[in-house]
Amino acid sequence: MSKIELPEITKEVAKACTEIMVEYRRGIQNLAGAMQRMSKVSGLPPEICKIMLSGLSRNNVIDIRGYNRIPQKLVDGKMKAKAERFKKQKELEESRRKFYESLPTTDES
């Protein structure tokens, strides 16, 4: 039996493979198409990709370990809105702090 050189798997490759696996499980991709895509993305031999995919059951999968397929533009929009809310909150806190500092203090001596 010969040894197979396995390529290094990065986070991007792992995400792409997870997406392919989810598409296969949901029935969006057939075995041959998913196997070819996974092999091309990961650099793994098609036989290994086929073994990985054929081990999955194909039923109504809603969630795989919190994996959520949201387009990047929606994620970016959510992050931008969150940053704007944070900035407004900081500005409000700063204006309140200045207001309370400007109030005269009473000495109870």
- pLDDT for 4 beyond 60: yes
- Cα(50)–Cα(15) distance, integer angstroms: 18
Q: Is 78 exposed, middle or buried (0-12, 13-18, 19+ CB in 10 A)?
A: exposed
Structure pTM?
0.49
CA distances from 16 to 8, 19, 21, 78 (A): 14, 5, 9, 22
pLDDT band at 107 (very low <50, low <70, confident <90, very high): low
Computed over every residue of the chain, the mean pLDDT equals: 83
- Cα(70)–Cα(73) distance, integer angstroms: 8
